[in-house]
Structure 1
Amino acid sequence: MAKILRTTLHFTAIALIAIAVYVAYQMWRYELFKTPVYEEVPPILPVMSGGSKVLLFSKTNSFRHIEAIPAVESLFKNFADKHDWGLFITENGAIHQADLLDKFDLIVWNNVTGDVLTEVQREALKNHMNAGGSFLALHGTGGNEDYDWSWFPKHLIKTQFIGHPMFPQFRDGTLTIEDRSHLATKHLPASKAWHEEWYSFDKSPRDEVTVLISVDEAEYDVPDSLKMGSDHPLVWHHKVGEGTVFFSALGHLAEAYEDEEYKTLLEQASIWLLDQ
């Protein structure tokens, strides 16, 4: 009996160590141990041919969406080819300077996480938006719990991310398309099945934004600490000063950017923003 007990404890210890190593590896893989980096020297912009100029910014100083980020980059390369856009992709936060941002007709933050800008760079983005810029924020961009820059969740996103369900992290739900008159959603059915890491926020931003898509959180078993109740928006647009913001909390998984209807949503949202 003692030998069996020792053997059991031995294998249990090995299993726990293996689990701990795996968890640590995953945290490293998704850059949760990353020391924040802040660039001071901006990238050199190439001569961009084409019509509209689009900046695709994918910097992370926190959790990195290692599958979604390249999927979005690939998608926007296709959009640029299709519509003759001049596309510049960078993770250099120093691109956020007034003279550089003003060269772009649309800024896309592709699953940007953590505080990624210096105070000067923050002010440049804020001024750009207040003066009439267009901004597309994708998934993780609105999913920061610990922003040191209160203007971003309060004004640019319009609400504060508080978390998402875990164990399981991804769950099935049904999207409700509330506004099918918008260019970005007119192609969608009234509802759409979706598999997602469902974001929750400290409050519904409905009073300050135009909600396009929401979800019935009763369908995917939300923990009490994350419940928003009967009003749970996920995709919306709004004004920031003279600027326009379009935010989608959808798209943690790379597969989202292979869904034809969601690809069209992002394409049409970009076209709509370029016309603002």
Structure 2
Amino acid sequence: MYDQLGFDEFSDQAAFEDADTLRGLTTDRATYDYVLDLLESDERPQFVFDVTLQNHGGYDVGGLADELAVSVPLGDGSTSSELDEYASVIRQADRDLAYLVDRLNALDRPVVLCFFGDHQPGFSDWLFEATHGSAADDLGLEAVQERYTVPYLIWANDAARAQGAHAPDSGANGRTSLNYLGSKLVEAAGLPTSGYQRFLLAVREAVPAINLNGFLTADGAWHGFGDEDGGDPGALDALRAYATVQYDNLFNKDSAWAAR
């Protein structure tokens, strides 16, 4: 599968047999050291996609040392072992990310880092209900979208900024969606964008984010599909154009979009 996505090499768990673990899972820092070794061993441009495991659910594994443990009190004064373990590994992930950023910034070569999560933890349904007093589905689309929101960052080291890399724009309070993230990364790195990537960046001006639940318009409002008012008529036009180009890009392999 990864070779079909254009990757030359794939490293699985076998590459980390002797790596440090947390809760029995390879630590984020171990994977970061692996990436740093790749960068230091080859001066040619590289694209590295690192999927970490340290913070993966479930969150009832235990085995955290006392100095790593975090306790998060709920509104009624109670605690949840799942939430506590999740908060503990996330705090460690923050420390590991700071370590990676420091190491990347010390490199002479330009590096642009894109960091994001793919979903919220499995217990976030009951946690949302406990903190908001109701299920997300009962509070409307904006509340539902809170359940599908994760943080991300795009960061460039000093060497990359000296060569033209820059912080991406912060449209709609910096919110975006995964379909745009690759194009935003290429643009932020100061690299040439393809015709399809430029199209996506243009669509994002009218529709800053989109997922299975609905779409966000430039005024910061969420709309469900079938919401003909859509806030801004330009957003509906952009969505229709996106559907057409996406279909062409997927199925018309000889088209200009697919070839560029």
What TM-score do you get using the length of structure 2 for normalisation?
Answer: 0.26
Greater RCO, 1 or 2 (C-alpha within 8 Å, sep 6+): 1
Q: Considering fraction of residues, name the structure with more helix.
A: 2
Q: Considering fraction of residues, name the structure with more strand.
A: 1
